[in-house]
Structures are given as structure tokens and as C-alpha cells.
Structure 1
């Protein structure tokens, strides 16, 4: 899903987990393989959270016949599926410090090649840029809060975030991946985890107590242990940079490891109806830029009537490497018109021993689908006791995100 320059990491990981479903949408989907709601598989499906598949299909055939035919021909004749999208995010705060505003954009091209029935290649190339002095990802810090308020909208420029091979069993009971991968696509995820279609604050994305590495060279795998039980484990290079991919993990040996075990109502609803525990550990860097850390995270979410998704998430870390030492988040996602999404989230966090008070965060957003290929998402984030400014009681951040996908 995302990567953050405040915690380095070229991911090299091993995952033992279920054959996982991707899209964070109101519709059920066939489990496409390892990857959560922000993965390439999820974004490629018609149920990627932008709109429902039948509506998209009718619109494309009527309004973009050449493009639709071209992509359809690639899928039919070469087993290649791809998408291009662009996202923009603007944020404004009422803080009396910092820049007062931030904006940035992400251009992405991503796709899959299904070489065999049980194996194929996944790739994603991104260009992330800040329009302003401060990128939205760091706007919370600029406004004196220990908070990432614009997850994924940084200024790392060109980055290879995915380039990996997937191999799976014919009955999809296990999945194996190797290559350049993003562990946050599946480590401790749930249906509303994607910063491209759902919440923007990290408190409601990948658990902020997990010192997850950035995308990079990786090995990943998954196994379904029972009809309703799955497990996930990972090992990742903790020091890399997806903007400059390398194999340094074989020299340093610094790795991130995780193990997750969870309950699902069925395989094709693994991120809709899901309860899990995630255990993780990250090595420190030899140069002292990152400390050793470990922790535990838990998550429970359930999709009622294919409209309502309440969630409860928590976690703690032993060290000081992650954003927070402890956190609890709760909230609700509500799908309306089968295309729009309302999200409400509340969070308590302990930002660490260096801070006097706990920090509280609330986020409300409404993702409005203007057309099958265009969505805008206004949002409000309220932060009480912003940790970097003990003298300030609260902070408000207003946001507007746009996404166009073809």
C-alpha cells in the first residue's frame, strides 16, 4: 500500500497465510491471491472501491469503447490486465504553526500477467510528488501532531513498489510470491485499510504501532489452515528504499518479521469478515537510524448486509521505532448507493515515553463517486492533545482527495 520515508525499508518478506481477497468494496469477490484492499489485485478488479462492476462495464463500453476494447483484447489474448490512475490530495489545517496547507499527487500504472493458471507476474510503478513545501504525508508533523494525516502522499518521486511472481496451488489453499513487494498490502489489513479509497490517517490504515518496512525485494506465501482459519508470516529487508531498489538485505541481514493468524467467514470474504492477531519484530539498523522493535496487533471487522463494516483495531510496540507505542482504533464504514462510502474512525494513541499526554484522533470522510472512473473524497481530521505541541488542545485538518482511474 504505502511507504514512509520516516521509517526506511526495502521489503524482503516471507508470508504464510490464506489465499487472500483484495477489493475493499461492497461486493464479494473471488480470492485473487496474496494482497489486501490496497494491492494491485484489488485495484484491478471492478470491485476496487471506486464503483460497482456492472456500472463500470456499461459506462466503459458506452463512453470509452476503444480503451475498453484494447484492455479487453489484452486480457483475452495475452492474459494481461492493467490500469492507470492518478490521485491528488489537498489538506488545510487551523494550526498557527507550519505551512497551513499541503498537497500532493500520485500517478500509478500497475497490472498483472497471468502466465499460467497457477502463476503470474504483478508490477506497479508509481510517481509520488508534493505540490507544496510539505507533502501531505508529513502535514501532521508540520502542524505539531505526532500523526501521519496524508498516508502515501509523499515526495519520493519515481518508485518501483511491485514487481513479483505469484505461484499458487490449483485449489488456492496456498500462495507463494517472490520479488519486489509491499508488505503493507496484507500485514494486519482490513476492508477499509486503503489510503486510496478509504481513510487517510495512518491511525486507520496499516497499524501505526507496526514498524513495517517499505516495498522491496521480498518472498511471500500463504496457506489456508482450515475453512475459516488462515495464517500469515513475513520476513522483510528493514533498510531498503523502493525509489532505489537493491539487494542490500543479503549483506546487512536486517529484517522485519511478522506472523498473523486469523478467522474469516469464508475465503472470498477474508478482508470483509475478519478477526486476527499479528505478531512482528524488526531489526535495528547498523548505523543507528532505526532501533530494534517488536509488537502485537489485533483487528476485528465484519461486513453486515454488505453495507455496514464496524471495526476495532489495537496494537502495541515494545520499542520506540514505530509511530506509536500503543493504539486503539474503532469505527464504521457504510456503503451507500453501492458506489459511495462513508467512514468514521476514532483513535487513542500513546505516542511514546518522550511525550507527556496521549493523543486522540478522529476522521470522517465521504467518498463520492461522480462517474465510474472519478471519485472525490472530502474529509475532516480532528486531533486532540497534539503530541508535538503540549500547549495546544486540538487541531483540525480538512482534506479533499480525488482519484481518476482508467
Structure 2
């Protein structure tokens, strides 16, 4: 067995140890959730960030009784809950390089089957496509910035991003997931992490100093260590490819590992009132396409009066694989009308030794709920000292995102 394989085996054992190390006391509560605002369970829930649940329910019952009646019947009789949505993003820049515009869309169908009280299946199938030569995910690079300005809006076409089993332990103290997993659903998340309902720039999504892999084969475990303290650990295929799911990790032994320790006000607000530290390590690729990397990220956010969510996030990486060597982000989310969301974020990043200057990013957005099934989000991103175009002092990227969900 190689050293890398031994490391992966030890990490796998650690995941099971974290999941099994339940405390002596027990409550009949939900276990620490291996998911954040962009996870399937969160997006299925009423009040998933698209609209107010009471307003949504009244509108749907009055206007789409057949479709939502069918969904309710399926949920009550077969324990199957699902949703279909479509997202579209257009972006335009004032840069003197690149295409000047980018657009793309994501069609998704996702859901859960609660097979038993203690376990069930989660699945998500997506089709991501670019309408233009450059996909929004890479539009920042095309415009001269070391920045992902349209997170998730790429051109990978058909992709299986979730297909995993969730098992909860006795008294619902711990939970384990295994299968095709997107680790960005739970690694270093907070209430405004979702690129589908909140910020679009990676600086304010999953920490850009974390070299998180694409969805692939993984196992993760979470446990409540105390009423307000939780731990989550994971090990995933570092070469995950949702467009071509495979079991190659058992041959390569190249994995991504993470451990998170956090404080929460209560289990049902685990990613709203949350302070945590995340430690991670990613193996390099044997073909040299990716270097070994590791780092630490910290996050603090709190949801005051169910309206205001200030946040402070930071991270460092010690390799050359992640987007940034170091980063600090701060900002605020403000919920208006119980349906709309205003967000502002400021970020400083060190893009690495290859670049002479630090890069600064600001993003402002407003998510407007047009109806319970439709949200439109205009945004502006301002990037100072764009690292890939040092001849420019700054650039602006204007965006418009739409989402319809059924």
C-alpha cells in the first residue's frame, strides 16, 4: 500500500470515528446536517430562500393545484419529495480584453426518497450549458481577473451531482452520507453561500482558498458533540467528475479531506447562526495537473432578527492549487418583505506569488421575488487590481440571474 493510500485509509477511518463518537447524552432531534443552503434538502424545504413559505403555499394552491397536488400525493404516499428548476445567468463587463459578455443556464431535477425513518436516498441531475463562447463561471478570467464571477454556471452539460445514501444514528445524534456527493454543500458553508439564491462570486461562496473537488465519490459524517457544538468530516475523490461518474479514486488514491468544528445557536439554525473552523487537504494529481495543497478556513455569521446576516470569512492555503493563497471576506445580507434579499460583500485576496498585486472584489445584488416560483437577481461586481490584466486598475461586471422553480 502506498503512502497516499494509507493516508486516504486513515482519513476514511476518521470520518467513521467522527460519525460514531456520539456523546453520552441524547435528544430526539435532527442530527448535524451535512448540507447548507445549496443542498437538496435545503432547496426542497418550504422557505428555501426563493420566497416566504406562507405566501408560496397560498399562491401554489390557488394557481397550480394539479402539479403541486401530485407532488404532495407522492410525498405523502411514497415519501418522495422533488423539485424542478431552471436558472439562467447573463454577465457583461467593461474590460478591454475578452469577449465582453457571457451567459449560461442550468436545468435541475432533484429530490429525496425517505426509505426509512433513519435513512434515505438523495439525487440531483443537472444540465449545465453555456449560451456564449465563454461560460459565466470563467468570465472573470476572460475579463482579466483571477476570479470566478459566475459560480456553477459552466458548460459541463449533463451531470450527476448527487446520488448518495444518508443514514442517521440512534436518537438522531449523528449522520453519515456515502455516494456521489458535492462537498461544497457542507464544507465551510454559511447562510449566503448558495450561488443560486445569493452571491455569484466565488469569493463569497465556498472559500476560494479551499481546493474543493467537483462532485464525485465521497463519504462524510457529522456529529453533535454538545448542544451547540458539532463536527463534520469528509473524504472525497479529488478528481471528481459529475459528467462521467466513476470509481477511479480506488485506483489513484487521490483524495480531498476536510474536518470542521463549529458552534451553532441550535440545530435548526446550523448554517444561519454559525461560527466554525475548517481544515482541509487535497492530494496532487499523479500526472502533475494538480499540486498537493492544504489550508485552514474560518467563518462567522449570525442571523439577527431573521433579517440581518453579517458575515466574516477568511482562509489560507499552503500549496498552489487553490484559487487564492489567502483571502478575507466580509459583508451583509438583509431580507426584505420576507421574500427579497439584498447582499453586499467585500473581499481581499492574495492570488499568489505569480501576481504582483493583491486583488480586491466587491459584489452587490438584490434578489427580487416576482412570484413564488420566479426570482430575478441583478448584481454588480467590481474588481480592483485584476490580476490577469495588470494594465487595468479595475473592471466592472454586471449580471442578471433568473430562477424558476416548480
TM-score clears 0.5: yes
Structure 1, unmatched stretches of 5+, are 1-11, 19-28
The verdict on how the C-alpha distance between 1:338 and 1:95 changes in structure 2, with shifts beyond 3 A counting, is: same
Q: Over residues 134-188 of structure 1, what are the superposed CA-to-partner deviations in whole Å (9 max), with x where a residue is unaligned?
A: 0000000000000000000000000000000001124321001111010000000
Q: Give the Cα separation in 2 of the matches to 1:353 and 1:154.
A: 27
Deviation at 1:32, TM superposition (A): 8.4
Deviation at 1:240, TM superposition (A): 2.5
Verify: 1:38 aligned to 2:35, yes or no. Answer: no
**Matched ranges for 1:139-154 at <5 A:** 139-154=139-154
Deviation at 1:82, TM superposition (A): 0.1
Verify: 1:113 aligned to 2:134, yes or no. Answer: no
- Does structure 2 conserve the Cα–Cα contact (< 8 Å) formed by 1:93 and 1:398? yes
Q: Give the Cα separation in 2 of the matches to 1:192 and 1:31.
A: 22
**Matched ranges for 1:206-245 at <5 A:** 206-245=206-245
- Does structure 1 conserve the Cα–Cα contact (< 8 Å) formed by 2:32 and 2:222? no
Q: Give the Cα separation in 1 of the matches to 2:150 and 2:68.
A: 32
More helix, by proportion: 2
- Does structure 2 conserve the Cα–Cα contact (< 8 Å) formed by 1:282 and 1:294? yes
Structure 1 stretch displaced more, 165-174 or 102-111: 165-174
Where does structure 1 differ by over 3 angstroms across 4 or more consecutive aligned residues?
12-18, 29-33
Q: Secondary structure at the match of 1:144?
A: coil
Q: Secondary structure at the match of 1:171?
A: helix
Deviation at 1:33, TM superposition (A): 3.6
Instruction: Return the TM-score normalized by structure 1.
Output: 0.93
**Matched ranges for 1:20-169 at <5 A:** 33-169=33-169
Deviation at 1:56, TM superposition (A): 1.0
Equivalent position of 1:368 in the other structure? 368
Q: Over residues 13-54 of structure 1, what are the superposed CA-to-partner deviations in whole Å (9 max), with x where a residue is unaligned?
A: 848479xxxxxxxxxx97784211100001100111001111
- Does structure 2 conserve the Cα–Cα contact (< 8 Å) formed by 1:240 and 1:248? no
- Does structure 1 conserve the Cα–Cα contact (< 8 Å) formed by 2:32 and 2:175? no
Q: Give the Cα separation in 2 of the matches to 1:98 and 1:178.
A: 41
Structure 1 stretch displaced more, 210-219 or 78-87: 210-219
Instruction: Return the TM-score normalized by structure 2.
Output: 0.93
Q: Which has the larger radius of gyration?
A: 2
Task: Identify the structure with bigger relative contact order (alpha carbons < 8 Å, sequence gap 6+).
Answer: 1
Structure 2, unmatched stretches of 5+, are 1-10, 21-28
Q: Give the Cα separation in 2 of the matches to 1:39 and 1:170.
A: 23
Q: Over residues 298-327 of structure 1, what are the superposed CA-to-partner deviations in whole Å (9 max), with x where a residue is unaligned?
A: 000000000000000000000110000000
Q: Secondary structure at the match of 1:192?
A: coil
Q: Over residues 95-124 of structure 1, what are the superposed CA-to-partner deviations in whole Å (9 max), with x where a residue is unaligned?
A: 011000000000000000000111000000
Q: Secondary structure at the match of 1:289?
A: coil
Q: Over residues 268-311 of structure 1, what are the superposed CA-to-partner deviations in whole Å (9 max), with x where a residue is unaligned?
A: 11101000000000000000000000000000000000000000
**Matched ranges for 1:287-366 at <5 A:** 287-366=287-366
- Does structure 2 conserve the Cα–Cα contact (< 8 Å) formed by 1:17 and 1:230? no
Q: Give the Cα separation in 2 of the matches to 1:294 and 1:232.
A: 17
- Does structure 2 conserve the Cα–Cα contact (< 8 Å) formed by 1:17 and 1:224? no
The verdict on how the C-alpha distance between 1:382 and 1:203 changes in structure 2, with shifts beyond 3 A counting, is: same
How many equivalent pairs are there?
385
Verify: 1:282 aligned to 2:282, yes or no. Answer: yes
Q: How much is the aligned-residue C-alpha RMSD, in angstroms?
A: 1.5
- Does structure 1 conserve the Cα–Cα contact (< 8 Å) formed by 2:31 and 2:168? no
The verdict on how the C-alpha distance between 1:256 and 1:401 changes in structure 2, with shifts beyond 3 A counting, is: same
The verdict on how the C-alpha distance between 1:119 and 1:30 changes in structure 2, with shifts beyond 3 A counting, is: closer
Q: Over residues 331-364 of structure 1, what are the superposed CA-to-partner deviations in whole Å (9 max), with x where a residue is unaligned?
A: 0000000000000000000000000000000000
Q: Give the Cα separation in 2 of the matches to 1:61 and 1:335.
A: 25
Q: Give the Cα separation in 1 of the matches to 2:256 and 2:50.
A: 32
